[in-house]
Amino acid sequence: MNIGEAAAASGVSAKMIRYYEGAGLVPPAGRSAAGYRLYGDADVHRLRFIRRARDLGFSVTEIGELLGLWSDRSRRSADVKRLAQAHIADLEDRISRLRQMADTLQALADCCAGDQRPDCPILAGLEQGGEASGATSGPRCG
């Protein structure tokens, strides 16, 4: 199948297929006499694996490791689990940082009257944010 058909079958855009090929996650495609990329069922299966790993937030490097483990029939599941648990820890850390950002922004928005006056606690909070970077305490309204 051509790249468009492989994209439709895998749920990965043609642009991303080319990117994954360049990144080494997908082996270089065979070419037709006219020079078009040609893909088989195994390629589509691999692309679906990559898409699912990306959907779970794995980086390209991590996906490369997962692909290596996936294709290694003598792999240890402990190695796969270690990689997954490291990714979970990273996701939990990112969630925590996002929660802190949302809480801080919500506190700033709560302080804002949202009226016609030019005073804006949100802008003031952003201006002062350098000193409180990473702080979990919210702004003081007033």
C-alpha pair distances (Å), 90 with each of 58, 119, 132: 10, 38, 23
Number of C-beta neighbours around residue 63 at 10 A: 21
DSSP state of 12: -
Which two three-digit tokens encode residue 57? 């937030």
Taking only the tens place, the pLDDT of each residue in 5-54 is: 999 999 999 999 999 999 999 999 999 999 899 999 999 999 999 999 99
What pLDDT is recorded for position 128?
87
Alpha-helical regions (H) of the chain = 3-10, 14-22, 41-55, 60-71, 77-111, 121-128
Instruction: Please tell me the pTM assigned to this model.
Output: 0.79
Taking only the tens place, the pLDDT of each residue in 99-122 is: 999 999 999 999 998 899 898 999
Grade residue 70 by pLDDT with cuts at 50, 70 and 90.
very high
